[in-house]
Amino acid sequence: MEVAGTLTRADLAEALHSEIGLSRAESSKIVEQILHEMCAALSRGENVKISGFGTFVLRDKGERVGRNPKTGIEVPIAPRRVLTFRASQMMRERIVTAG
């Protein structure tokens, strides 16, 4: 199995630059604006759905009791909000056929 690299903001901006022909500065600004809007929506408690890609979902987890695996001592785990990503069916199919 191949070791995959990491797609970065710079890679996304470069793709916009080469595919669409925008300047590098414009491409970078667009990538930053999209990420800013996604973060702002999530911080307001909204989920972010990108059709054909997936959905970023916020979930509130309640307080619970955990256990330290080394010592076995029970410790309380504070309530928190977690972010999960659910890939769309189309994305799942793309990933399976690409592998």
Q: Domains in the chain, start-ordered, CATH in brackets?
A: 1-46 (4.10.520.10), 47-99 (4.10.520.10)
**Side-by-side strand order, sheet with 80-87:** 48-50, 54-61, 80-87
Note the pLDDT of residue 97. Answer: 79
Count Cβ atoms below 10 Å from residue 20 Cβ, excluding itself.
10
Give pLDDT tens digits along the chain (99 positions). 455 789 999 999 999 999 999 999 999 999 999 999 999 999 999 999 999 999 999 999 999 999 999 999 999 999 999 999 999 999 999 988 765
**Looking at the chain, which runs of residues are DSSP E strands?**
48-50, 54-61, 64-67, 74-77, 80-87
DSSP SS3 for 2: coil
Helix axes 24-43, 9-20, angle to 10 degrees: 130
pLDDT tens profile 64-81: 999 999 999 999 999 999
List the end-to-end C-alpha distance of the chain, in Å, as a whole number. Answer: 9
Cβ-contact 56, 83 below 8 angstroms: yes
